Amino acid sequence: MTKTITDVICPFCGTLCDDVEVVVSDDGKKLLEVANACVIGTEKFLHSQSADRVTKPRLRQADGSWKDISYDEAADYTAKMLAGAKKPLMYGWSSTNCEAQSVGNEIAEIAKACCDNTAAVCHGTTLIAVQDIGLPTCTLGEVKNRADRVIFWGCNPAHAHPRHMSRYSIFPRGFFTGKGQMSRKLVVVDPRCTDTSKMADVHLQIEQGRDYELLNALRVALKGEWLPDSVAGIPAEKIREVADILKSGRFGIIFFGMGVTQSLSKNHNIDEAIALTKDLNEYTKYSIMPMRGHYNVTGSGEVFAWQFGFPYSVDLTRGFARYNPGDSSSIDLLTRGEVDAMFTIGSDPGAHFPISAVKGIAKVDSVCIDPHLTPTSGVSKLHVPVAFNGVECGGNCYRMDNVPIDCRKVVEPPEGMLTDEQFLVMVRDRLRKLKGAA
């Protein structure tokens, strides 16, 4: 007999769907089927069952080969590495739970490390803009129940957050939006034609890198002031038409993604997008929300903030928390060669950082804690495979709208495998002894 587990949370993207159903074998050791999740989420669950999974920590040998070691030895290596380093970097945290993040922060405090999460290469610019100008936002259920104007700017949820549109933003029939998609106008701003833009009522195919100008032009159009014939490749009449669409809604929402956060102008784009949202609140009700990527990158920012006071790129090397993105952010630390030990967990900088920064990782002692084989595990000296969070262990995670949802354990990890939290506790206890901390 198999068992069906309902209300499972999908540990893939910031949409954090919590209606997934998983079928497991009677002994709870095999995960057989996944229902309700998108293809990516399904794959994440099923991937945990792959036969070629690494189940033991592996230490790189002088000849380049890997040697299997025990978790004890791996914790010893990690603690010694952190204890001996002057400026260790502890990066990642976005694909693990808040319990592990919390233990990680204790470690970072004892080791006086720099701590950073994947916002550094994603929505960190959003956070800087929020620090400039604020953030009128809402939970995703508000969008479902009220929104009649939905704008996707520089993002493509059809591929990146596949169930976002059906659960929250375009299709659902909410309390005040009984006609579902029919009750909403969809505007997509993207230089590309995407599967999201194909659904739009209006697709503004903007010139690449001209987001700031278009956002600014929309603010001008709202006020009915003069506009040049075209801005960012969009004719003035079109801009005025869209401004009228935005203004005429009862409740609007702007979702934005990496197309604006990591293109030319970076945080200034977001400043302007938030200013547009603020302006729209003079006429009707508007919110704005970043489309966060990893399922718990938001949680990492939250835990950093309540424990250290800052959401990412926190530098603890002086014994208290400092924050100065550009100086204390991971890529900058690595490319400047300041990092003398690299600790990666729940993310893959090897695949996403510029090669100059990845070379910085390869040069120093390094640990990668990740259930998968990744480019980062490939360049690290020690790879510690762990249980899949959200599949083989539970733990709290924060959705892109900051709503916390407790992930579920649905299947046992392979025998003897530890979770992120369990391994980090081993490292913390060893590090405390090495450093003589209280």
Partner 1 sequence: MSEYIIKNGHVFDPVQGIKGDKLDIAIKDGKIVDKVGSGAKVIDAKDKTVMAGAVEIHAHVAGPKVNLGRIYRPEDKLFSCTPTKGMERMGSGASIPTTFKTGYEYAKMGFGVAMEAAMPPLFSRHVHEEIRDTPIIDEGAFPVFGNNWFVLEYLKNQEIENTAAYIAWMLNVTKGYAVKVVNPGGTEAWGWGLNCLTVNDPVPYFDITPAEIVKGLMEANEYLGLPHSMHIHPNNLGNPGCYETTLDTMRLAEGIKANNKFGREQVLHLTHSQFHSYKGTNWGDFESGAKEITDYVNKNKNITIDTGNVTLDETTTMTADGPFEHHLTGLNHLKWANCDVELETAAGVVPYIYSPNISVCAIQWAIGLEIPLMMKDPMRCYITTDHPNAGPFTRYPRVYKWLMSEKARKQQIDSFKHKDKVLSQTGIGALDREISLYELAQMTRAGPAKSLGLASMVGGLKPGMDADVAIYNINPDKPVANPDDIEKAFSRCAAFIKSGVQVVSNGEIVSNGHKRTLWVNVKAKENPQVARDIAEKFVKYYSMTQNNYEALGHHFVPNPYAIEVDATN
Instruction: Report, in Å, the least distance between residue 396 CB and partner 1.
Output: 6
CB of 22 to partner 1, least distance (A): 14
Q: How far is the CB of 314 from partner 1 (least distance, A)?
A: 10
Residues near 150 by Cβ (< 8 Å), separated by ≥ 6?
Answer: 143, 169, 170, 184, 185, 186, 187, 252, 253, 255
What is the total residue count of the chain? 438
Q: What's the min distance (Å) between Cβ of 285 and partner 1?
A: 4
Whole-angstrom distance, CA of residue 295 vs CA of residue 279: 31
Strand partners, 395: 407
Chain centre to alpha carbon of residue 261: 13
Who contacts 411 (Cβ-Cβ below 8 Å, separation ≥6)? 22, 24, 28, 29, 30, 31, 48, 391, 392
Least Å distance between CB 437 and partner 1? 8
CB of 351 to partner 1, least distance (A): 27
Nearer to partner 1, 43 or 406 (CB): 406
Tell me the backbone φ, ψ of residue 116, rounded to 5 degrees: -150, 155
Question: Smallest distance, Å, CB 418 to partner 1?
Answer: 17
Q: Which is nearer to partner 1, 11 or 385 (CB)?
A: 11
Query: Please, which residue, 109 or 190, has the CB nearer to partner 1?
Result: 109
Q: Would you say 192 or 322 has its CB closer to partner 1?
A: 322
Core vs surface per residue 3-19: b (16+ CB within 10 A) or e: eebeebbbbbbbbbbbe
Question: CA 230: distance to chain centroid?
Answer: 35
**CA-CA distance, 316 to 336, in Å (whole number)?**
18
In order, the DSSP letters of 182-243 are GG-EEEEE-SS--TTGGG-SEEE-PPTT-HHHHHHHHHHHHTT----SEETTEEHHHHHHHH
Nearer to partner 1, 236 or 305 (CB): 305
Nearer to partner 1, 98 or 188 (CB): 98
d(CA 269, CA 263): 9
Q: How far is the CB of 255 from partner 1 (least distance, A)?
A: 14
Query: By C-beta, is 70 or 248 nearer to partner 1?
Result: 248
105 versus 374: smaller Cβ distance to partner 1:
105
- In whole angstroms, what is the distance from residue 360 CA to residue 88 CA? 12
Which residues contact partner 1 by CB under 8 A? 6-7, 9, 18-19, 98-99, 102, 106, 109-110, 127, 130-142, 144-146, 167-168, 174-176, 250-251, 278, 281, 284-285, 287, 301-303, 305-311, 316, 318-323, 395-396, 398, 402-406, 438
